[in-house]
Structure 1
Amino acid sequence: MTHGTGSTRGVPPRVLVITHDLDPTADYVLRELNARGVPFWRTDVADFPQRITMRAELRPDGAWGGAVVGPLRGIDLSELTSVWWRKPTTFRFPDSMSGPEQRFAAGQAKRGFVGVLGSLPQVLWVNRPERNADCTKPAQLTAAAESGLQVPATLVTNDPGAVRDFADRCRGRIVTKVLGGIVHTENGQRGQIYTTRVPADRWDDPRVALTAHLYQQEITDKAYEVRVTCVAGRLFLVRIDAPDGPGRLDWRTDSKRLAYSPICLPVPIRTGILDMLWCLGLVYAAVDLIVDQVGTHWLVDVNPGGQWAWIDCTRDAITTALADLLQKGTL
């Protein structure tokens, strides 16, 4: 259970890791912190308020004093130096509470529990949850373009008529992507919604009017893709080559057949990525690029909680970089 997980018993934790119970990516970094003797506490917001107690009092100097305590471990607010907001789940409340009561309690918990932690001075966040939330697809594409990166022609609309006009300008080659996370659950079944080509017979689909949709011009002359994992200004690069098939459009659909190799980025692209992340206020992010046959680098996604541990050639370096950052507690 996450609420009882920590390191270096007897030494007050200075690093708080907030993620769900089964997060093997986080485990790599936590094992590294353990090996270094860096005290940390791993928990999840789902443990509040039933397994975690917060006692926070505002001092005359404006600082919060007190502690957050679980059944086996806790953290003194005055000792906290780093927070890794990794993959938390949602607050959980007793079944005895009604739906309206639980919704009210969730708002209180967010503003109280997360609000106090976010108000602590001199604490490094990787990343602040509000920065993650603000990193919407429109925001990241705007930041990318303002930072000198190339982005595909993009339309966000709920007007079916606008889709045909956009597709005509893109010579009929458009794709659609979700505006949020790709994980989708329906009737108890969990699945993913990947990038999809939009054929001409769906350009006028009246269901487009039901909500916002994102469309982009397809990069039809794709050569390969690049995953850039960014940790406090350090960039870890890997080239991704997908075989013919569904993975050529979205490599996530064919992850078992991908080929990974080291690569370098042109200086203007590196600079653009760093400028973009500064604009978005992100300490950590996974950035995806498409490189076409003439060498143009197209920014297609910025994920502030993106995975990285499945790629062997960069795993150890990213683990070390994150552990260094959390241990140091400053940028």
Structure 2
Amino acid sequence: MLTALHDCLWINHPWRNHAAEYKPGQLVTAAECGFALAPTLITNDPFEARAFAETYSPIVYKPLRQSIQKDQDGVNGMIWVRPVDPAELDDAVAGTAHMFQAEVEKVADVRVTVVGHRLFAVRIDSGLIDWRADYDTLTYTLIPCPPAVESSIRQYMSSYGLVFAAFDFALTPTGGWIFLECNPNGQWAWIAEQEQAVADALTDLLERGHL
């Protein structure tokens, strides 16, 4: 990792990245910072999983930590957020901990890239549960970040000691922003509408040590 000049500010320290990547910890911190969250269950108990599905259906499955997986041909891939059929929740659930979440009714997603004190928010329209599964279908619109969400983001960044992060939200039909996750090492350059602005902010941070 590089450090900025003058006050040796990291983008980000590797230990802080590691701590901030753990999804269960993210949800606890997000709740403490005032974000709206979807009902969530982490369990390896099939009975608990089925009861959760019955109460909050439809539900989705999410990995506990982002990681690269290889398919049967050895090709790298990701585990996308996907819907869960309650019939899948058999005794195999007991093999390890799983994260289940109530599927959020949404009209779009929002990605907020944070560089120091600067926030760059973009609406992502796709119609997909997990927009990362098909980038070719996405359209982007730059939007403002609501003051309450911005305040929670700054508190969240401070909690983990982060300088850079990418937040993902579901945008509800009533305009609510539901926290989904925060990637402390998130990608940003694929969004042409904000690529130069984010690059300039990172350059300022590295050159001057502040924004």
Deviations 1:126-165 (A, max 9, x none): 1111111111111111111111110111111111111011
Question: How far, CA to CA, are the matches of 1:274 and 1:330 in structure 2?
Answer: 15
Residues 35-50 of structure 1 aligned to structure 2 (within 5 Å)? none
Deviations 1:2-38 (A, max 9, x none): xxxxxxxxxxxxxx64xxxxxxxxxxxxxxxxxxxxx
Instruction: Look up the match of 1:226.
Output: 110
Question: How far, CA to CA, are the matches of 1:150 and 1:294 in structure 2?
Answer: 13
> TM-score normalized by structure 1?
0.60
Identity of aligned residues (%): 41
Query: 1:230·1:285 contact (CA, 8 Å) conserved in 2?
Result: yes
What letter matches 1:277 in structure 2? M
Instruction: Look up the match of 2:94.
Output: 209
Q: Secondary structure at the match of 2:179?
A: strand
Deviations 1:241-270 (A, max 9, x none): 004xxxx21111121110101111221111
Question: How far, CA to CA, are the matches of 1:181 and 1:149 in structure 2?
Answer: 21
Instruction: Look up the match of 1:169.
Output: 55
- Quote how far apart the aligned CAs of 1:122 are: 4.1
Instruction: Look up the match of 2:43.
Output: 157
Query: 1:140·1:280 contact (CA, 8 Å) conserved in 2?
Result: no
Question: How far, CA to CA, are the matches of 1:290 and 1:262 in structure 2?
Answer: 15
Instruction: Look up the match of 1:5.
Output: none
Q: 2:15 aligns with which of 119, 130, 139?
A: 130
Q: 2:185 aligns with which of 290, 296, 305?
A: 305
Q: Are 1:293 and 2:173 matched, yes or no?
A: yes
User: Structure 2: which 5+ runs fail to align?
Assistant: none
- The verdict on how the C-alpha distance between 1:194 and 1:182 changes in structure 2, with shifts beyond 3 A counting, is farther
Q: Secondary structure at the match of 1:155?
A: strand
Deviations 1:158-178 (A, max 9, x none): 1111101111221x2110011
Q: Secondary structure at the match of 1:131?
A: helix
Question: How many residue pairs are counted as aligned between the two chains?
Answer: 209
Deviations 1:90-141 (A, max 9, x none): xxxxxxxxxxxxxxxxxxxxxxxxxxxxxxx942111111111111111111
Instruction: Look up the match of 1:249.
Output: 129
Pair member with larger Rg: 1
Instruction: Look up the match of 1:65.
Output: none
Instruction: Look up the match of 1:97.
Output: none
Question: How far, CA to CA, are the matches of 2:45 and 2:116 in structure 1?
Answer: 40
Q: Secondary structure at the match of 2:114?
A: strand
Question: How far, CA to CA, are the matches of 1:152 and 1:280 in structure 2?
Answer: 21
Deviations 1:269-324 (A, max 9, x none): 11111111111211100000001111111000100010000000100000000010
What do you get for the CA RMSD once the two structures are aligned?
A: 1.7
Question: How far, CA to CA, are the matches of 2:207 and 2:92 in structure 1?
Answer: 50
What letter matches 1:82 in structure 2? A
Question: How far, CA to CA, are the matches of 1:283 and 1:208 in structure 2?
Answer: 37
Question: How far, CA to CA, are the matches of 2:47 and 2:96 in structure 1?
Answer: 14
Query: 1:226·1:288 contact (CA, 8 Å) conserved in 2?
Result: yes
> TM-score normalized by structure 2?
0.93
User: Structure 1: which 5+ runs fail to align?
Assistant: 1-15, 18-80, 84-120
Q: Are 1:239 and 2:161 matched, yes or no?
A: no
Instruction: Look up the match of 1:13.
Output: none
What letter matches 1:310 in structure 2? W
Higher RCO (CA-CA < 8 Å; seq separation 6+)? 2
Q: 1:264 aligns with which of 144, 168, 177?
A: 144
- Quote how far apart the aligned CAs of 1:182 are: 4.5
Residues 1-331 of structure 1 aligned to structure 2 (within 5 Å)? 17=2, 82=4, 122-135=7-20, 136-170=22-56, 172-187=57-72, 188-203=74-89, 205-219=90-104, 221-243=105-127, 248-330=128-210
